[in-house]
Structure 1
Amino acid sequence: MARVRLEDVAKHAGVSMKTVSNVVHDFPHVSAKMRERVQTSIDLLGYRPNAMGRGLATGRTGLIALALADVTIPYFAELARMISTHSTKRGYRLLLEQTDSSIEEERAIVSASEAGLVDGVIFQPAAMSSLEIAKHRSDVPIVLLGEGPAPLGLDHVMIDNVEAATTVTRHLASLGRRRIGFLGHEQGRPTETSKIRIMGYQRGLELEDLPVDPSLLVASAAISAQAAAVALGAALDGGLRIDGLVCRDDLAAIGALRALAERGIDVPGEVAVTGWDDIAMASFTHPTLTTIAADTTALADTALDLLEERISGFEGLGRHLIVPHHLVIRESAPESA
């Protein structure tokens, strides 16, 4: 069957090709009656706009890139799925890029290399500093995610990580825990995410008049459940005493549950454990995991709202927006009786 052309729709509807084009591109000045007339012909004939031709005409591709450090991390995988679903509803296709926390890969994201390929980029940096991101000029609209500081010129969406870490630390203190550790930050050079969450952890300790003891910080060799289990196990075997544990993320918390179980330490009886991200498996661990949950629906929608405004021509200074979070209380650190 021959492809239905724009002129076929125009002839069927009895209008000009320009009018059909205006309806296809959703130009606002077309009357409701004329829009209905043209849309009826489009539906009856089964007309589908030529994406390449439309892209040449509008300068848009209909593609959005999402750049994350590691899509094997469950939170990133779940966030990518959320953003993909919401992008599709808005008429975009999502291109997923993995940077592996490489400075070179991240520099490529904020350079002009994406120009002409995608309409905009949602990017969660792991290696680049705010200043370096600000120095890179790109004609492609960018919205940043994540905990690190963002340039004043770029849009940024995040949760309040300091407040969230403070909340979860104070929750453990409310359970009577007095030696509360922190598990899962990177050895050597912690990321901005880890630094900010440790900052909130320290603030929580101070607000509860608990000692800030560096010996209660347990770094791991990698962001994984296995690395966290190894790190905590070695610390416990070396004499670490804790009765509460704030974990950098749910993977670290899952590793902690394994290390504690292997040593016969009861959770939450002897050590209460909390995670971060509320990934899907957090409600299936044994015991189930108390954790910080970001409103990922709000995160996806807010990032896409800002990006669409940039794509449509908004050129103002960056909007730095905070979306909600809450503490999900489960068996690993239940409410005090």
Structure 2
Amino acid sequence: MNEKNLLKPLRSHKIALPIFMFAGGAIGNLIAIIVLSVSRQERKSSAFFTLVRGLAVTDLLGTCLASPLTIATYLKRTVLEDQHICEFHSFLLLFFGLTGLSIICAMAGERYLAICCPYTYQRWGVDKRFAQKFLFFIYITNIFFCCLPMMGMAESILQTSQTWCFIDMRTHEPVATAYSVLYGAVSLLLILGTILLNLAVCGSLLLMRQRTVQRPVTRASVRERWRALSSAAETQMIAVLVMTSVVVLACSAPLMVRVFANHFMPKPDPTADRAAIRIASVNPILDPWIYILLRRSLFRRLLSLSRRSSSTRSSALPSPQRNVFYPDIMRDSHVFTQLMCNANIISQLPTAVKFTPYDGESLPQT
């Protein structure tokens, strides 16, 4: 009796962490979905923010389905000993981990097409409906791929800590080993693809920004003028993409490393495996706060602070471009106009050219 009484406070202390993570993930993603749904600026960039909402919904579903099983395990250790429940828990971890990486890669691909290949983006008709169809494709393919262990291709086992189930990462059975390595390889390719696409987008934006500052935009080059404008208007979305990518990749990479390490390193390390899955569980808690915090109002404040800092530095040195910053810019409520002024291109546009705010779907109208 004394030993049981001593174990009760310890068990209560351990169960507090999964409860806190469940509450944080569920509440944060609900707030993020509401914020994304009511924002005007996000609706204008429908394809990108449809994918963002899809990621928020995915994180919410993953939290609401997987966390209760973990909490139940702390209350009763035998919950995951049932093979069907163990396979279901393993499927949840496989599916939501891979789906999050897939949506992040799709977001990076959408931004790459919009900025680096604008006419391909227009020709393919990348809009809200296109993004919804692509999300459906991601869900269907990942459900099929992650159901393969339940069809006999791999075995889901209760891990050493007895708080989570996953595919057997130390098996020597050829088919199960092939599936485990394939899952890790697909996840790794998604991570590398996201990194490369983000680097390409950021590099393209930097080049366009440099060309806009160094060379005036002429009437003859409509395409270059549109690309310069789009590079300014996309800044806020790129901030969301980069921050979300960093969080998702940092949280997912340790588990992928453990998948390969368990196959190619002779000595198992259950502590490292448990740490990797805990880090992956933090991802749906952090993601929604990126969408919440990187709002238009906060983004404008950060942009204003950056501009003031740059103005202070430029005032200390003589420069022919002292008038590139406009102190009264923050009175304009439209982010697009603010960024255009910051890029010093409004004064260079011909009066005969009429531009519409870039929404990822239309070109400037002449």
Q: TM-score, length-normalised on structure 2?
A: 0.23
Structure having the higher helix fraction is 2
Structure having the higher strand fraction is 1
Q: TM-score, length-normalised on structure 1?
A: 0.25
